Amino acid sequence: MEPDNVVQLKEKLSQAHEVIAHLMAKAAFNGAEAHRALNYFSGDSFDRDFLPWPRYTDDRLRPDELNAANDD
């Protein structure tokens, strides 16, 4: 039997999957990236490089800093 925290984490991922699907439907967004997210969160595997932006470190920009408006 799995520890409670593992069960809860799996349930949370299931909730994330449902939220993403609901937001996709509400926004009429049915693109490849949205389906990629649904597929990823519905599986058990972990991909450290899943996010489409670099992981934040002191020498990298945060996701909200990656837009063209910040280019000089």
Residue 59 has pLDDT above 70, yes or no: no
Q: How confident is the model at residue 72 (pLDDT cuts 50, 70, 90)?
A: very low
The pTM of the whole model exceeds 0.85: no
Residue 13 has pLDDT above 60, yes or no: yes
Can you give the three-state secondary structure of the chain, one letter per residue?
A: CCCHHHHHHHHHHHHHHHHHHHHHHHCCCCCHHHHHHHHHHHCCCCCCCCCCCCCCCCCCCCHHHCCHHHCC
Per residue in 47-58, pLDDT (tens digit) is: 888 876 666 555
